[in-house]
Structure 1
Amino acid sequence: MNGRVNSGLIAATAILTMSVAASAQTVTDDIVKIGVLTDMSGQFSHESGAGAVTAIKMAVEDFGGKVLGKPIEVIVADHQNKPDTASALARKWYDVEKVDMIGNLINSSIALTVSGLAKDKNRIAIINGSGSSRLTGDACTPNSIHYSYDTYALARGTGAALAKEGKKSWYFLTADYAFGHALEADTSAVVKALGGEVVGSTRYPPESFDQSSYLLQAQSSKAQVVALAGSGNVLVNSIKSAQEFGIQQRQTLAGLLVWETDIKALGLSAAQGLVLTNAFYWDRDDETRAWSKRFFDRIKVMPHMGDAGDYSSTMHYLRAVEAAGTDEAQAVMKKMREMPINDFFAKNGRIRDDGRMVHDMYVYEVKKPSEAKGDWDFYKLREVIPGDQAFRPIKDSACPLVKKG
C-alpha cells in the first residue's frame, strides 16, 4: 500500500515538475520578434539604417535563428525622424505585431518616446543609435537599456581631453533637439568642472544644412574650442564649412559625436586632428577586426559603435531569453542585468538598475592622411576611459529606479 502511495506521489511530483518547466519555458505566439526602428532614408541613415539592420540580422543568424526552440523574426521600419511616426509604429508593433524588443532607435526624441511605450506595454527597448543621457536619468524605465554610448560619456571623453590640454573657453553649435541639448549640457558641466568657461552657444534646427552664419558667430567669439553638439549630415557639412572658413587655423574644432561614416564622408584632409570619443573601433584588436570584416563583406562599409552595439545587445538579449526560459519582458530584463557582457564590443560590461550598460570608452584622434595605412584607417588612440569613470556614477543618477543611500 505504501509502495503504491509513494509511486503515486512520485508520478504526481514528476508531472507537476514537467508542467512547471513547460510553463516556465514560454514564448508568446511561438515566435520571438525583434523590430529595428531606425532612420533608413534621412540625415542619420548613414549612422544607423542599413548598418543597424545588418548587425541585428547577423546576431540572429549567429545565434542560430531560434531561441527556446522557437523562430526569431526581424522586422524593419523607417521612423523618418518623426516622433509621431515612431510612436505609431512602435505602438502597432507592440500591440498588433507582438514585437518583443525594439532596437537601434536613433534620434533621442524617438528613443525617449519608444522607451516610454516599452514600459507601458511591458516590452523591451534597446537604444544604440541615440545618445541623450536622460534615457538613464529622469526618463529611465525598467524596460529599456542604453547600450553603446551617451552624452555624458562623450563629454567625459572629448571635453575632458581638450580641457586638460588648456582649451578653457568653449562655444557650442547645438542641434535643437533632445540629443543636442543633453550633449551641450553634459559637456559644459565637464568643461566648467575643469576650470573652463562657455562663452556662448547657438542652437540650430536639426535639418538646417547650411551652418555658415552659425560658424561665423563661433569664429567671432574667439573661443579656443568650437564644439559641434550634433550629428548626421549636418555635422559633416559643418566641418567642411569650418575648414573653408579657416576656423581650424585659430580654433580647435570638436566633434562631440563623430562616426566612422562621417570621417569617410569628410576625408582625412578635412577631418584630421579631430578629437572624439567612441565605444568601438573596428581596428582595435583581433576580435574587432574579425567581426568587422564579416560586417564589411555584407554592405562594404566598416561598422561603427552603433552597429557593433546593435549586434552585441541583440546577442545579449537572445541569451537572456534563453536563460530566462521565456520572452516575458521583466524576466528577460532581470537576466540581462545579471549576465555580464564579454564579446568583441565590451569586456566585463554590465547593465545597471538605471538601464545604463557600463563599459570602457575610448578617446581617439583622427589621423593625418600621411599616417593612414589604408582605407578606413582613421583613428589613433589617445586614452582609454574605464567604464566606471566613463559614465555618470550611479549615485548621481536621476533615475527613479535607483535606490538612494
Structure 2
Amino acid sequence: MTTTRSGLVTVTGFAASALMLAGCAGGPPPAPESDLSNDKVVIGLLNDQSGVYKDLSGPNSKVAIEMAIEDYLAEYGDQAVVTEDQIEIVMADTQNKPDVANTQAQQMYDRSNADVILDVPASSAALAVAEVANQKKKLHINISAATTELTGAACNPYTFHWAYNTQMLAKGAAGVVEDGGETWSLVYPDYAFGQDMVKSFTAAVEDAGGTVNEAIATPFPNDNFSTFITRAASTDPDVIGTMAAGGDLINFVKQFNQSGVRDQAQLAVGLMFITDIHSLGVDEFSGTTFTDAWYWNYDEQNREFADRFLDLTDTRPSFAHAANYSAAYQYLDAIQRAGTDDADAIIEELEGLKVDDVFLRNGEIRAGDHSVVHDSYVAKVKDAADVEEDWDYEEITATIPAEDAFPDVNPNCSM
C-alpha cells in the first residue's frame, strides 16, 4: 500500500531510523495525538440495499469497509490515530431516488455525525448527495455513480469521484468499432446516468469512425425491454449497446437473447459488474466486450483481497466493493497523516495524492476536479468452456493506462 503526494517527503531513511531509535531508547513511541470530532470517526455507507443495484455494491460494501478498517488498524497498531472503538459505520438505503438520497445524507451528516459518506450508486442520487456534502462541508467519496457531472459542472471541494465515469466506460467502444462494429443503436435508462452514457458512447463511437443510428430512452427501473430491443434492431445496426446496469442489465440481456436479435447484431454493454455475469450466467454474456475498472482475478494482489472477501460473504467482490475498500482505507490513512478528521484537512491530504493499492493502480487523486484516475481494463466475457473456476468469467485483453482512461480535468469544474 503506497501513498505519496507531490511536495511531501515520506518518512524513510534517517527520519525513520531516528523514530526507531527513539522508540528503542525509551520504549515504544507514544500514541500520536488526534483531534476527532465527537471523539470518533463515522463512515456513512449510502447505497441501494434492496433494489437493482444491491448485488453490485449494497450490503456487502460494508464488509469491504470493515476490511479496510481492519487493515488500517493492523498497519498502524498502537500508533493509529483512530482506534477500533472510535470507528463507526452507519448505513442507509437510497432506493436509487435523489429525494431519498438527499434526506438520508442530511440525516447521516446531522444526526449520525457522519464524517464521510461512501458509495451512492445512481447518478441522480449521487448528485443530490454531493450537493448536501457541499452545503454541510462534509466529505462524500462517490464510488458507484458514473456521471461526469460529479467532476464537471456539479463538482465541489467536498466530493471525490473514486472509481469510474461514463467517459472511462466508453473507452472500450473504439475497439468494437475497429473490429467491424461500425453502426450502433443505443438503449439507455432515462436519467442522469443513462443520458451521460449516451453522450460519452456516441462521442467514442464517432471518434473511432463509427455511427450511432439512434439512442432510445427507457424508463428506470424497468423490467420489459422487448419493444425497445425491437426498435433498436429496426435500424439494422452492427451493434446494439445497452446502457442499463445492475438488475435492469440482467433483464435487458435476457430479453435480448430471447428475441433472436443476437443473431443480427452484436451486444455491447456500457457498464457491467462481475455480479451481473454471475447472476445471469456466463453463456448469456459470452463474447461481450466492456470496460472494467477492476477485476478480482487480475493478479495475485487482487486475488488475495478477493479470497478474504469470499470467506466473509460467499461471493467474489465487484469493482465497487474493491473501490469502497480503497476509499475507506485512504480516508483513514489521510486522518492518520492529518491527525484530525476535519474535512478541510482531509481534502488537503487527499488532493494530488498518488496511490497504488488493491484497487487503484497508478492512481492519482486530482486536485483540479477531484477525479481519481487509475489504470482500467478492456474485458471480454469468457465462453463457458474456458471458465476454470466459479466467478472467473473475464479475460482482460488490454490495460488502459490511467492517463488515457480518464478525460482531462473538466473545464466546467470550478471549486
Above 0.5 in TM-score?
A: yes
- Give yes or no for the alignment of 1:305 onto 2:319: yes
Residue 388 of structure 1: CA displacement?
A: 0.4
Partner of 1:26: 35
- Give yes or no for the alignment of 1:128 onto 2:143: yes
Partner of 1:38: 47
**What letter matches 2:145 in structure 1?**
S
Residue 140 of structure 1: CA displacement?
A: 0.9
Partner of 1:55: 64
Residue 192 of structure 1: CA displacement?
A: 1.1
Partner of 2:404: 389
CA contact (8 A) 1:179 1:230 kept: no
Alpha-carbon distance in 2 for matches of 1:142, 1:136? 10
Partner of 1:72: 87
* 1:97 alignment partner, one of 83, 101, 112: 112
What root-mean-square deviation, in Å, do the aligned CA atoms of Structure 1 and Structure 2 show? Answer: 1.6
Partner of 1:17: none
Alpha-carbon distance in 1 for matches of 2:101, 2:130? 11
- Per-residue Cα deviation, 1:129-180 (whole angstroms, up to 9, x for no partner): 1111111111111111111111010012x21111222312110110011111
* 1:88 alignment partner, one of 103, 121, 124: 103
Consecutive unaligned residues of structure 2, counting only runs of 5 or more, are 1-30
The 3-state SS of whatever aligns with 1:161 is helix
Partner of 2:9: none
- Classify 1:69/1:137 alpha carbon distance in 2 versus 1 (closer, same or farther; 3 Å): closer
Residue 247 of structure 1: CA displacement?
A: 1.7
* 2:389 alignment partner, one of 358, 363, 374: 374
- Give yes or no for the alignment of 1:178 onto 2:192: yes
- Give yes or no for the alignment of 1:248 onto 2:283: no
The 3-state SS of whatever aligns with 1:222 is coil
- Give yes or no for the alignment of 1:199 onto 2:213: yes
CA contact (8 A) 1:136 1:397 kept: no
Alpha-carbon distance in 1 for matches of 2:117, 2:175? 34
| TM-score normalised by the chain length of structure 2 | 0.88
Instruction: Return 58-67 or 167-176, whichever deviates more.
Output: 58-67
Q: Please list every run of at least 4 consecutive aligned residues from structure 1 whose deviation after the TM superposition is greater than 6 angstroms.
A: none
Alpha-carbon distance in 2 for matches of 1:87, 1:60? 26
CA contact (8 A) 1:24 1:326 kept: no
| TM-score normalised by the chain length of structure 1 | 0.90
The 3-state SS of whatever aligns with 1:216 is helix
- Per-residue Cα deviation, 1:322-361 (whole angstroms, up to 9, x for no partner): 1111111111011112432111212231111201101000
* 1:266 alignment partner, one of 280, 293, 306: 280
Partner of 1:14: none
The 3-state SS of whatever aligns with 2:354 is coil
Alpha-carbon distance in 2 for matches of 1:166, 1:400? 40
Instruction: Return 65-74 or 233-242, whichever deviates more.
Output: 65-74
- Classify 1:397/1:388 alpha carbon distance in 2 versus 1 (closer, same or farther; 3 Å): farther
* 1:237 alignment partner, one of 232, 248, 251: 251
CA contact (8 A) 1:263 1:271 kept: yes
The 3-state SS of whatever aligns with 1:237 is helix
The 3-state SS of whatever aligns with 2:369 is coil
The 3-state SS of whatever aligns with 1:202 is strand
Matched length: 378
CA contact (8 A) 2:143 2:163 kept: yes
The 3-state SS of whatever aligns with 1:365 is strand
Instruction: Return 340-349 or 289-298, whichever deviates more.
Output: 340-349
Partner of 2:170: 155
Residue 23 of structure 1: CA displacement?
A: 12
**What letter matches 2:61 in structure 1?**
A
- Per-residue Cα deviation, 1:12-61 (whole angstroms, up to 9, x for no partner): xxxxxxxxxx9983111100100000111011111111221111121112
Residue 69 of structure 1: CA displacement?
A: 4.0
